[in-house]
Structure 1
């Protein structure tokens, strides 16, 4: 006997429990870590560029350069350069293909920076020797003690400045004129003799003390210029070559040597042995 014909079939549903969108693996974590590492390296590079000097940056670049040897020990190669690059500081002079700043040729030494530095050093030595003579500190000095009282020297970037100044009791010019005294004539002859040790050009400058402001015509400019010109004439008469005189100027009372603008110490001449920049 069969069962009822109107019985409904039994349907069984299987519910699959999942975790949302599913698992995609950990590849994104590796990519993110690489990105963070790259950013850290980038910011570290920016910091180094800002915190180091040009010389330090060049040293770092040279360290990573494959064409520059890091030490004097051979790299072990058996080629023509013993394992060194053809552009290294060691290889070029050895094979005769050229020279570098660390290994200059004798010709480069004679005509390059070393020659210029030697010339500057020799010029400085000559100026200092003349300064010693004028101060009476050299065995070759024959400067009279009376002259030494009126001489001050100093070495500047422009050259050797020889200052001749008056005192309250011993002037270099007659009164308020440009007429030289016998002492100044003797000093001019002495300067021509001493400065003949070098060939540097000269500049001659005149300075005078200030005058009262009540004067209608202040003679300071004309007088300082006339005195500088008179000193030039005195030295030319004693044998100085006219080609050595580069300039003659008067500074009036604009550059005082004494705080008191009326002091006799401000009446002075400056003879400058100019440095030879050529």
Structure 2
């Protein structure tokens, strides 16, 4: 007797997973951008922590273009108004003659241009002094310890070099005008750098306020004496005494920070004056 007709029928179902297989590589690009951004962020944090204020200022100045490509807009389709920078020298040789009669002077140069060039030259000279002092283009002439006491800024008056106390190291012996070695080092280097220009020099002494009122508060005399001591050190370093145009003591009246009693307010400001004002 045959049993083939009684055999069970087995049905096998294949499970199909929708959406399987390759999904593309967009997520890899997004992840790489994320990793790059995080690396850039941590590098920025490291630079902010590892550099001084002067070095950060040098980096900012490096990425700030200050040299114009062309002073005025040209009327032609090409660069320099459709002409070239040697027009006056080449037109006569090409047979077209000069653009206009010349008496030996530059007809395109006005008095305002000359004044602007002089002002720009002054600013450039002051920036060069600042760069060498702070070591923005390389190694500074000052030691790292001395650089911690200095900050510079360029103002309408000139290059202000601010030399200030640190909580652990002061410029002068407490309540005296006797300079500490770091102050003498800074003064010597400044005198050497100032010899490269002929600008006048102004010196201002400043002090921090006392937390307690004193009947005999010698802030005026002490700030003036410290300014005078800085003048003497600059002259000993080789600065011409005739270039000193102003020496003042401001007492505790002009604080550099909000807290008038902070040591940061004990400072000497040496200003390399602009000669074009």
Offset of 1:169 from its aligned partner?
0.7
Kept in 1: contact 2:194–2:239 (CA 8 A) = no
In the TM superposition, what is the alpha-carbon distance from 1:172 to its structure 2 partner?
A: 0.6
Once the two structures are TM-superposed, the CA of residue 113 in structure 1 deviates from its matched residue by: 2.5
CA RMSD of aligned residues (A): 2.4
Which residues in structure 2 correspond to 1:240-255 (within 5 Å)? 240-255=239-254
How far, CA to CA, are the matches of 1:149 and 1:178 in structure 2? 21
1:236 corresponds to 2:244: no
Query: Residues 109 and 115 of structure 1 are in contact (CA less than 8 Å); yes or no, is this contact kept in structure 2?
Result: no
**In the alignment, does 2:168 pair up with 1:134?**
no
| 2:55 aligned residue | none
CA 1:147 to 1:112, structure 2 compared with 1: closer, same or farther past 3 Å? same
Question: SS at 1:146's partner residue?
Answer: helix
The answer (yes or no) to whether the contact 2:256–2:264 under 8 Å persists in 1 is yes
Cα distance in structure 2, aligned partners of 1:108 and 1:118: 16
TM-score, normalised to structure 2, is 0.60
Separation in 2, partners of 1:95, 1:230: 59
Which residue in the other structure is 2:207 paired with?
A: 208
Distance of 1:115 and 1:209 partners within structure 2: 44
Q: Secondary structure at the match of 1:247?
A: strand
The alpha carbon displacement at 1:214 in A equals 2.7
Contact 1:207–1:266, Cα closer than 8 Å, also in 2: yes
- When Rg is computed on C-alpha atoms for both structures, the one with the higher figure is 1
- Larger RCO (CA within 8 A; separation ≥ 6): 2
Correspondence 1:31-110 to 2 at 5 A: 96=101, 106-107=105-106
Q: Contact conserved, 2:202 with 2:246, CA < 8 A, in 1?
A: yes
Instruction: In structure 2, list runs of 5 or more residues that go unmatched.
Output: 1-74, 77-97
Matched, 1:258 2:257: yes
Give 4+ residue runs of structure 1 displaced > 6 Å after superposition. Answer: none
2:186 aligned with 1:187: yes
Cα distance change on mapping 1:95 and 1:201 into 2, 3 Å: closer
Report the Cα offset of residue 154 of structure 1.
0.2
Q: Structure 1 residues 226 and 106, CA, compared in 2 at 3 Å: closer, same or farther?
A: same
> Which deviates further from its counterpart, 140-149 or 233-242?
140-149
Q: TM-score, normalised by structure 1?
A: 0.60
Matched positions, count:
182
Q: Does the Cα contact within 8 Å between 2:164 and 2:266 map onto a contact in 1?
A: yes
Report the alpha carbon displacement of residue 131 of structure 1 after superposing the two structures with TM.
Answer: 1.4
CA contact (8 A) 1:203 1:245 kept: yes
